[in-house]
Structure 1
């Protein structure tokens, strides 16, 4: 796996790159980086594919604009289109995790000519709803549950990133631990912030680095977020309502390309996005796999890489994309 920079018309993307063959783009989520795909990049390269994972807009070695207005879903999809072009290709399979899954779905939704297949981890496709904006729906869900505010709505606050920037190492340790499948059920995050607390204070200070993450790997995250901060990654959340307002024309549109979905049985995201798993086949007619991985939490591609690698390669084989 080679780490290098590749220039597009707007950004210089830091990428992890390996292999030759059909192009597979891997998109990370929050608070992640391209290095989170290390196991998949190796497996894909060995199987005869060109695997490329970028640090996405606002993250790591890529960085990006400081203002929230630069982080719309259209800018994010544009970055992935520009990456494919900069690599000298016209088509790619796109695979995403967490926010990267939402981005991957939108790549397939907006540019099915380029992104001819999509695989998502942890976050199912969520079609645009007439009722909105989304953060209002999140607040309604939070009120209905009665156990605090959903963190995605809380992240709309202009100062939401400040508590993370104050101690990036503690913030990352808490986030990885509280969304991990190996963490005890009673300690795993629900995604909802109790009244009177914030996103990090609700997680015990005793949180540890998950068992699947080496100290060296963890410190690479710490160094990246100390250098770049959390403000720009949190901008992705601050554009949720604006994205909804600007995508009325996508109302009712399905994912037209072949797709696959995986989620961990212990993923906290299922507590607030689980309904979309039930509806997935309705919105993704060519859904070729939908797998719930026992015992896995949110960081499924790092927690259980062998299971995820097998599913990815099986999906690519089903697409007749093989060496």
Structure 2
């Protein structure tokens, strides 16, 4: 880990914390999800840098040591992709291999939609591309399909989710997210609270140490969760702003990886979309699809060696 260099770079009007391992080879940009940090890519950074790649993992806007504007209106896909294009410019990089997971995967799809010229190829994990519905906003659709207790619907009201999460030790919140292996729909009634039982005990899986949990918890204790939650609160704003991109395909080479226990893969309709032609229609340059058996959502941390190999096997072709 001492090989990883940490810097602050001014991008798109904010200060961004960037973890990087220098290399003479092609650059790989990693985008993390919720509730994560650059740190969730530590295994991939070390592995690919040992093969000569230049590995770059920022704390995205709202996370860790990167600035966190308070308003959800500052977390549109245009803001986040703007940060990343500005980062590439600051680093003097014309193109990168892009690797995303969870919200990082959503941002990666937007990056490829808006600026495909900057992406050599994409390895995306967990969250499949979601084409824009021209007639109904995302939150309205989720409420109709999954109810008001669906976790993304529960995240919408500013301050409410933060208050519920604050009732539970931050380390326990991190454990509940990262160690979850329930592939079912994540619905949380208000009487249960998003943090759940503050006295619950969670046995950590072998791939997640107390030190790992403490790294995340220390950061989120300092920043709170609002930055990350604002991505969910900007979903409808993204819908409004991207009307001109309705029906536009993802036109970069793609490898998609998901675990069969991932709650996103088991969301109603997603398997049919992936396996019955919808995914290929919207992502015509999809070259590889990997369903990892017995693997849950936080795939790059749960199965680092396998994911490392999957990434390398794909990007070495370019």
Check whether TM > 0.5. yes
Are 1:12 and 2:15 an aligned pair? Answer: yes
C-alpha displacement of 1:25: 0.4
Q: Name the CA distance, whole Å, in 1 between partners of 2:261 and 2:74.
A: 33
Structure-1 residue corresponding to 2:153: 153
Question: Structure 1 residue runs of 4+, over 4 Å off?
Answer: none
Per-residue Cα deviation, 1:104-131 (whole angstroms, up to 9, x for no partner): 0110110011123212110011111123
Give the Cα–Cα distance (whole angstroms) in 2 for the partners of residues 90 and 213 of structure 1. Answer: 35
Between stretches 28-37 and 9-18, larger displacement belongs to 9-18
Q: 1:119 aligns with which of 115, 119, 123?
A: 123
Q: 3-state SS of the aligned residue for 2:110?
A: helix
Alignment of 1:226-237 (within 5 A): 226-237=221-232
The counterpart of 2:33, out of the listed 29, 34, 39, is 29
Unpaired segments ≥5 residues, structure 2: none
What do the CA deviations read for 1:33-72 (whole angstroms, capped 9, x no partner)?
Answer: 0000000001111112111000000000113211111111
Among 199, 211, 216, the alignment partner of 2:194 is 199
Over residues 143-198 of structure 1, what are the superposed CA-to-partner deviations in whole Å (9 max), with x where a residue is unaligned? 4xxxx7221111111122222234322211211122x4xxxx5xx66322247433
| Cα distance change on mapping 1:284 and 1:55 into 2, 3 Å | same
Contact 1:296 1:303 in 2 (8 A): yes
Could you say what secondary structure the match of 2:98 adopts?
A: strand
How many residues align structurally? Answer: 308
1:1-323 matched pairs, under 5 angstroms? 1-20=4-23, 21-143=25-147, 149-158=149-158, 159-166=160-167, 167-178=169-180, 180=181, 190-194=185-189, 196-201=191-196, 205-272=200-267, 273-278=270-275, 279-319=278-318
Where structure 1 has 5 or more consecutive residues not aligned to the other structure, the ranges are: none
Distance 2:12 2:233 in 1: 24
| 1:29, distance to aligned residue in structure 2 (A) | 0.3
Per the alignment, in what secondary structure is the counterpart of residue 257 of structure 2? Answer: strand
Pair 164,276 (structure 1): closer, same or farther in 2 beyond 3 Å? farther
Q: Output the CA distance in 2 between the equivalents of 1:275 and 1:103.
A: 23
TM-score by length of 1: 0.90
CA distance in 2, matches of 1:298, 1:253: 27
**What secondary structure, in the 3-state scheme, does the structure 1 residue paired with 2:100 have?**
strand
Q: How much has 1:11 moved relative to structure 2?
A: 1.8
Does the CA-based 8 Å contact 1:104-1:119 persist in structure 2? Answer: no
